[in-house]
């Protein structure tokens, strides 16, 4: 539930180049590939066989970014499966449920969301069960990068021409239906949508939400994770209440008690607008309008969410008193993610770098990966989900941001840390930010996928990509499905 890769930017912006993989990369590459193979269902990849046995939206985007180095066809299929569950109003649901998984294996289960009935007016699909909320829009970034992994295969299959209209509809939904603050930025209507479920950023907005009775739901997550590492029962009760109210309102946007403009969610939307411009150019259009929209959104992000005193972006509670809502004075890693954006003013990027490496996050000093929350904050907990532990996807995003803005040494150090801790933790879901000790599930999909991406030697965008086998599992060495498709035997 809680759940890009080169930022696609105008041609005048510097592209990102990686160093060659270190000598020990091959064994790590093999192990990462085995994780993705073990988590593959035939049409998509689960984040974790035990804890998360369905398809998650932003997980699949990150996983596709890693899969493209092993099997571009499988990476394309990953995204196509997810987009096949898109709703008529454009939303991409945060979970696509596997009907072969028992209902009690995960909560909230399909019978809670009731997508095909409660979501009928919003165009929920009839042939697949999904949740009704969304997750961060990493998908256009992933689609562009997957295309670049094997442009010939992508063009032969019409990959971009098929996913482009769905991605465009997804962005229209966010830019219009979710502009709840009237600023142009998208709002999330549930903490699960932002992906950082129990972040202290949500504590104040959630106080307005009465929790669902404890007897009304059963937490399947506690069957696979330690209670002290997971969200509290009180938090979970409020999550359930918010989701149930959204469902009972027909998944209509704008009426709920929770609406927050989040800097990471919007930064990924901006990055994906740049990616859609690249995709449009590949398909014969100019992409100019997309780049212009991305720049307008960047200006709105700075105006609404930048806090110069704290040297980072803050969330804004749209439902708080006052005509413009109120900033939420909590330092979360989400406020550092806009470092991804290549056209941020130089003074803002410099401040973000200082904040990431300063006492509140300690990157490269007291911590090796970026903690999910302020080390000095009252709510900091090094083990409890998004209240302090370090996650591989957010550190991967920061690595890309540092490299984009010329912070090569810092990016190299963070890259080494991601690879070393992914290896040492057996591809853990997240880790203690101080010790690197594994927390949550191991064999976690996006951890393995993003390690693969960092291991891969990136090539200039205009060069044809080079693929190698590196001793990975058989499916990636010579993907039989690719051979069949190129031989005309695949639809």
For 357, the 3-state DSSP assignment is: coil
**Among 80, 89, 179, 197, which one carries the catalytic annotation?**
197
Strand partners, 431: 390, 438
CA distance 181 to 188: 11
Q: Active site includes 429? A: yes
DSSP string spanning 358-388? STTT-BTTTBSS-BSB-TTSTT--SSSTTSS
Would you give the DSSP letter of residue 256?
Answer: S
Would you give the DSSP letter of residue 311?
Answer: T
Closest by Cα among 13, 25, 105, 92 to 60: 92
The answer to whether residues 357 and 363 touch, using CB atoms and an 8 Å cutoff, is yes
**Among 429, 432, 453, 479, which one carries the catalytic annotation?**
429
Closest by Cα among 101, 251, 272 to 178: 251
Q: Active site includes 235? A: no
Note every long-range contact of 373-381, with CB atoms under 8 Å and residues 24 or more positions apart, other chains counting.
373/199, 373/200, 373/330, 373/331, 373/332, 373/333, 374/330, 374/331, 374/332, 375/433, 377/200, 377/330, 377/331, 379/200, 379/203, 379/330
CA distance 78 to 55: 9
The set of catalytic residues is: 197, 429
């Amino acid at each position: 539930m809680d759940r890009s890769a080169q930022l696609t930017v105008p041609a005048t912006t510097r592209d990102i180049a990686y160093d060659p993989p270190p000598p020990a990369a091959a064994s790590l590459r093999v192990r990462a590939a085995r994780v993705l193979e073990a988590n593959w269902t035939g049409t998509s990849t689960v984040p974790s066989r035990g804890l998360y046995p369905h398809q998650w939206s932003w997980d699949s985007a990150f996983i596709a970014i890693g899969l493209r180095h092993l099997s571009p066809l499988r990476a394309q299929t990953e995204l196509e499966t997810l987009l096949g569950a898109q709703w008529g109003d454009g939303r991409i649901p945060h979970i696509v449920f596997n009907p072969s998984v028992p209902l009690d294996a995960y909560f909230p289960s399909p019978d809670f969301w009731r997508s095909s009935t409660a979501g009928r007016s919003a165009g929920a699909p009839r042939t697949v069960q999904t949740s009704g909320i969304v997750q961060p829009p990493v998908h256009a970034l992933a689609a562009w990068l997957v295309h670049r992994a094997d442009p010939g295969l992508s063009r032969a299959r019409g990959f971009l021409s098929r996913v482009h209209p769905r991605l465009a509809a997804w962005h229209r939904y966010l830019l219009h239906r979710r502009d709840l603050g009237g600023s142009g930025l998208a709002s999330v209507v549930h903490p699960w949508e932002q992906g950082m479920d129990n972040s202290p950023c949500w504590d104040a907005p959630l106080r307005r939400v009465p929790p669902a009775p404890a007897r009304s739901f059963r937490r399947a997550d506690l069957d696979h994770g330690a209670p002290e590492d997971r969200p509290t029962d009180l938090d979970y009760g409020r999550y359930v209440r918010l989701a149930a109210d959204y469902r009972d309102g027909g998944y209509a946007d704008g009426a709920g008690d929770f609406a927050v403009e989040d800097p990471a969610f919007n930064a990924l939307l901006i990055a994906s607008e740049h990616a859609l411009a690249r995709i449009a150019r590949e398909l014969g259009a100019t992409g100019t309008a997309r780049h212009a929209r991305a720049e307008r959104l960047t200006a709105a992000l700075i105006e609404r969410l930048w806090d110069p005193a704290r040297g980072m972006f803050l969330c804004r509670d749209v439902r708080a008193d006052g005509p413009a809502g109120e900033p939420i004075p909590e330092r979360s890693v989400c406020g550092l993610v806009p470092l991804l954006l290549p056209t941020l003013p130089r003074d803002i990027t410099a401040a973000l770098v200082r904040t990431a490496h300063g006492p509140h996050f300690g990157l490269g000093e007291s911590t090796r990966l970026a903690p999910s929350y302020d080390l000095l904050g009252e709510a900091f907990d090094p083990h409890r989900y998004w209240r302090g532990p370090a996650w591989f996807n957010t550190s991967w995003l920061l690595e890309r941001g540092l490299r984009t803005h010329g912070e090569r040494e810092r990016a190299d150090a963070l890259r080494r840390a991601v690879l070393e801790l992914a290896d040492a933790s057996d591809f853990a879901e997240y880790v203690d930010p101080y010790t690197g000790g594994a927390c949550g599930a191991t064999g976690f999909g996006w951890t393995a996928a993003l390690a693969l991406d960092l291991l891969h030697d990136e090539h200039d965008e205009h060069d044809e990509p080079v693929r190698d086998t590196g001793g990975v599992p058989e499916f990636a060495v010579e993907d039989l499905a690719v051979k069949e498709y190129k031989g005309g035997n695949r639809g």
